[in-house]
Amino acid sequence: MCLPGSWTWSAVRTGSRLDQGRLFLPRNLPHAFRSVGGPVTALLIVTPGGLDSYFAELHAAMRSNADPAEVKRIQDAYGIVRS
């Protein structure tokens, strides 16, 4: 759910849907999202759990201006694939 701010999202096949600001993405559906015009606050509910640690590590890395290799290391540790 997007709170303050604006974002865009994309998915590579059908199965995703947007309903009243809520986005549903089935398991294993490649997708992407990014903020538009500034910071975004979003409430993400991910099941099964575990990605909260990924987002915490990624946030810390981004705040410290980590180089792309460090960001990739974090993504690899959680099975996140960037295209």
pLDDT tens series, the chain, 83 aa: 556 667 676 776 555 555 566 777 777 778 777 778 888 777 778 877 788 898 899 999 999 999 999 999 999 998 888 76
Q: Same structural domain for residues 40 and 14?
A: yes
Q: What is the pLDDT of residue 42?
A: 76
Beta strand extents in 1-83 (DSSP E only): 7-11, 17-19, 22-24, 31-35
Q: Residue 22: give the domain boundaries.
A: 1-45
Q: What is the pLDDT of residue 65?
A: 94
Q: By C-alpha distance, which of 26, 80, 38 is closest to 58?
A: 80
Q: Same structural domain for residues 34 and 71?
A: no
- Burial grade of 12 (CB within 10 A; 0-12, 13-18, 19 or more): exposed
Q: What is the pLDDT of residue 63?
A: 93
Model confidence, pTM: 0.62
Q: Same structural domain for residues 33 and 56?
A: no
Q: What is the pLDDT of residue 18?
A: 56
